[in-house]
Amino acid sequence: MDGSEAAVKLKTSDYKSDIKPVWCPGCGDYTVLLIMAKAMAALQLAPENVVVVSGIGCSSRIPAYTNCYGFHGVHGRSLALATGVKVARPELNVIVAGGDGDGFSIGGNHFLHACRRNIDLTYVVMDNRVYGMTKGQPSPTTEPDWDSALSPGGTGLRPFHPLVIALASGANFVARAFSGDPNRSTEILVEAIRHPGFSFVEILSPCVTFRPDQRGWGDVVHPAAVEPTDDPARAARRIMTDDGYNLGILYRGDRQPHDLSRTAAAEEPAVFDAEFEL
């Protein structure tokens, strides 16, 4: 090489591993994998500088299907793990991914505090309003009248509203996307990764096995009627009054991400080990 050769451009396929996903045929998560790979290719991220962190669930299998570093963690703890990765290696791009059960039920507490801390992470939730991996129990985002063998007559419970909760908790970027619209979803994810601080993207991703009704989502989703706002009160009002199917960037904030130099350890771990040795 004499230095005049252009750097090799990475393609979408360069971000996918050779491992074949085990998702059901038609699961929305296949397209979310494509969306993630396309977004990384659009940004030309070096795969060795990206860490994809997940919890447990069908959707949380995603790190293995990428060609990046990955951490398939424990249920509900993806954001805590990702926070540790980012604090230890701030120069890396950390993308966190998982399901609505993982992120909003067992992981709900971590979700609130990851938004509040505003560390520079991108959090993608493949929301199918059900626990897919464990055979179809209702999740925090399940509609109260969804009738199933495991919830006869529906739960009757008010659903959790992830977007408005993210906003109220301090997330710096809030968006809704749909797996059935990979081009627009890629644009949204590219912006989420670029945006400083904690970015939250809910991707509606049908579970065709336990929620076959979600095959109809393509007919009900629609672009958000208005441009993104940087006013959290206006964004909250819009999000709370929309029909749950409007897609786009709904809030783009300007909070400074948490200064990670404040969290740097003053001592090496070995010093603590020596101090606390029994």
Residues that bind ligand TPP (CB under 6 A): 56-59, 75, 98-102, 126, 128, 130-134, 139, 207
The item of ligand SF4, ligand TPP, none sharing an interface with residue 120, based on CB under 5 to 8 Å by kind, is none
Q: Which does 75 bind (CB under 5 to 8 A by kind): ligand SF4, ligand TPP, none?
A: ligand TPP
55, 63, 76, 132: residue in contact with ligand SF4 (rule CB under 6 A)? 132
Is residue 29 close enough to count as binding ligand SF4 by CB under 6 A?
yes
Q: How far is the CB of 217 from ligand SF4 (least distance, A)?
A: 13
CB of residue 178 vs ligand SF4: minimum separation in angstroms?
Answer: 15
Q: Tell the smallest beta-carbon distance from residue 62 to ligand SF4 (Å).
A: 11
Report, in Å, the least distance between residue 32 CB and ligand TPP.
Answer: 10
Comparison of 33 and 174: residue with beta carbon closer to ligand SF4: 33
How distant, in Å, are the alpha carbons of 26, 46, 102, 142, 205 from that of 219?
16, 36, 27, 19, 14
DSSP element (H, E) containing 70: strand 69-72
Q: Select from ligand TPP, ligand SF4, none the partner in contact with residue 208, using the beta carbon and a kind-dependent cut-off of 5 to 8 Å.
A: ligand SF4
Structure-token pair, residue 184: 């627009």
Q: For the chain, first and last CA: distance in Å? A: 56
What is the spatial distance between Cα 169 and Cα 151, in angstroms, rounded to a whole number? 30
Say if residue 42 is exposed, middle or buried (CB neighbours under 10 Å; 0-12, 13-18, 19+): middle
How long is the chain?
278
Which residue in the block uniquely carries the two structure tokens 């130099």? 261
The residue type found at 66 is T
Among 134, 169, 209, 229, binds ligand SF4 (CB under 6 A): 209
Residue 208 makes contact with ligand SF4 by CB under 6 A:
yes
Tell me which DSSP letter residue 196 carries.
S
Only segment of 126-134, 141-149, 182-190, 216-224 that touches ligand SF4 (CB under 6 A): 126-134
| Residue (106 or 168) nearer to ligand TPP, CB | 106
Tokens of 152: 């006869």
Work out how close the CB of 194 gets to ligand SF4 at its nearest, in angstroms, rounded to a whole number: 28
Cβ count within 10 A of residue 51: 21
**Torsion over CA of 6, 7, 10 and 14, rounded to 10 degrees?**
130
The entry of ligand SF4, ligand TPP, none near residue 250 (CB within 5 to 8 angstroms by kind) is none
Report in angstroms the alpha-carbon separations of 23 from 62, 67, 212: 10, 18, 15
Task: Return residues touching ligand SF4 (CB under 6 A).
Answer: 23-24, 27, 29, 58, 128, 132-133, 207-210
